[in-house]
Amino acid sequence: RFVPGLGTILCMNITLVRGDITEQDVDAVVNAANSSLLGGGGVDGAIHRRGGPEILDECRKLRASHYGGGLPTGQAVATTAGRLPARWVIHTVGPVYSASEDRSDLLASCYRESLRVADELGAASVAFPAVSAGIYGWPMDDAARIAVGTVRAAQTKVADARFVLFDEDAYAAFERAV
Ligand code: ADP
């Protein structure tokens, strides 16, 4: 939005949705992937099941061409979205939660890097899951605080950021964080 005297202001809407990320009608959905990029449980499993084999094919090619050692934690990379309503899947690898080591910067990096990739793609709407808050064990309130704080502070052209929360507890945690 151009505001006389101030220049261009980037405005972002943050929305919370209770539901399934694979059903979101957005430009890009973020996948809570693991570094192998070859599929897993949780969000990752759901995206590959619903999106079909095209996504996995592209992931395999990315592994071979760029990420022989796997996608590093905190980074993000895009593929097409196969049969999902979205156009792209942005795969990011969250850190496994540790009670003895603060890995918050890596979790924040997942959101920042996903938005950076979204900007590169020209994606205006992006749906995020609660990265690291499932199999990777992150306490939901802390994961929500990092997710919301990082997305809110990001310099991005993404206009619609949507957190898609699978269950009541996750939704409530994100509501508190917002
Ligand atoms: P991680 O391995 O990064 O912890 P998970 O996929 O195990 O990621 O879980 C991340 C969060 O996503 C959890 O809160 C989980 O309940 C939720 N989740 C699982 N499946 C879906 C889905 N289809 N849509 C949205 N959220 C989901």
Asked if the model's pLDDT at residue 14 lies above 90, the reply is: yes
81-120 residue pLDDT tens: 999 999 999 999 999 999 999 999 999 999 999 999 999 9
Q: What is the pLDDT of residue 1?
A: 60
The alpha carbon of residue 10 and the mean position of all alpha carbons in its chain are separated, in whole angstroms, by 20
Q: Ligand 1: which residue has its CA nearest to atom 13?
A: 134
Measured in Å, residue 116 CA sits from the centre of ligand 1 at: 22
User: Candidates 166, 168, 169, 174: which one to mutate for ligand 1, based on the most atoms within 8 Å of Cβ?
Assistant: 166
Q: Which ipTM did the prediction report?
A: 0.98
End-to-end CA distance of the chain: 23
Neighbours of 77 (CB within 10 A): 21
Whole-angstrom distance, CA of residue 153 vs CA of residue 133? 21
Asked if the model's pLDDT at residue 3 lies above 80, the reply is: no
